């Protein structure tokens, strides 16, 4: 699937959500959870130099394509909300966090080391176990601390509009 095809499919999904909500207004029919996560993984593979795993793995969604990087494995998070959660990673790896919008657009709020985010969360709440919540605004601020380290960031594919 192309980036354009993915954008069109996302727009249709939200139109169907509106129809479902109109038919049964008691429920929002929010397309979150697994579907939004799968969309995030599709964005990652189509737009970034990542290969998504064919099978589910416990901590990672895919791997970076070629190159000399600080880490190879990548976790992808996608949400419609203003925050997401993170579980303690077994070791450093890449993290991409997207917000998916109903108008078929998306935004990457974080592209960098998963340990950078986990260590920040652990400073805020030293409980070293379980999942922790982080706002997209905070992720965006953490993203700016990477200072252009090309080995930490997952590069876009050349055919993608940034």
pLDDT tens by residue, 52-81 = 998 888 899 999 987 776 678 999 999 989
Q: Would you state the pLDDT for residue 79?
A: 93
pLDDT, one tens digit per residue, over 19-62 is: 988 888 877 777 777 788 888 898 999 999 999 998 888 899 99
What's the predicted TM-score (pTM) here? Answer: 0.83
Show the 3-state SS of 74-93: EEEEEECCCEEEEECCCCCC
Tracing tokens 């416990």 back to the chain, one arrives at 58
Whether 158 has a pLDDT exceeding 60, the answer reads yes
> CA nearest 151: which of 124, 108, 112, 110?
112
CATH topology of domain 32-144: Trna Endonuclease; Chain: A, domain 1 (3.40.1350)
- Report residue 126's pLDDT band, with 50, 70 and 90 as the boundaries: low
Q: Work out the mean pLDDT of the chain and round it to a whole number.
A: 87
Q: Would you state the pLDDT for residue 82?
A: 95
């Amino acid at each position: 699937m192309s980036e354009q095809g993915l954008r069109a499919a996302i727009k249709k999904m939200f139109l169907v959500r509106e129809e479902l909500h109109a038919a049964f207004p008691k429920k929002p029919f929010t397309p979150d959870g697994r579907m939004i996560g799968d969309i995030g993984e599709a964005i990652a593979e189509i737009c970034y130099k990542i290969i998504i795993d064919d099978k589910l793995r416990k901590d990672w969604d895919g791997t970076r394509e070629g190159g000399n990087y600080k880490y190879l494995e990548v976790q992808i998070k996608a949400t419609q909300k203003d925050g997401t959660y993170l579980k303690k990673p077994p070791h450093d790896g890449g993290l991409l966090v997207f917000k998916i919008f109903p108008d078929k657009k998306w935004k990457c709020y974080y592209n960098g080391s998963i340990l950078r985010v986990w260590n920040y969360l652990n400073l805020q709440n030293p409980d070293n176990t379980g999942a922790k919540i982080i706002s997209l605004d905070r992720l965006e601020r953490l993203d700016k601390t990477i200072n252009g380290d090309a080995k930490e960031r997952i590069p876009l594919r050349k055919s993608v509009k940034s």
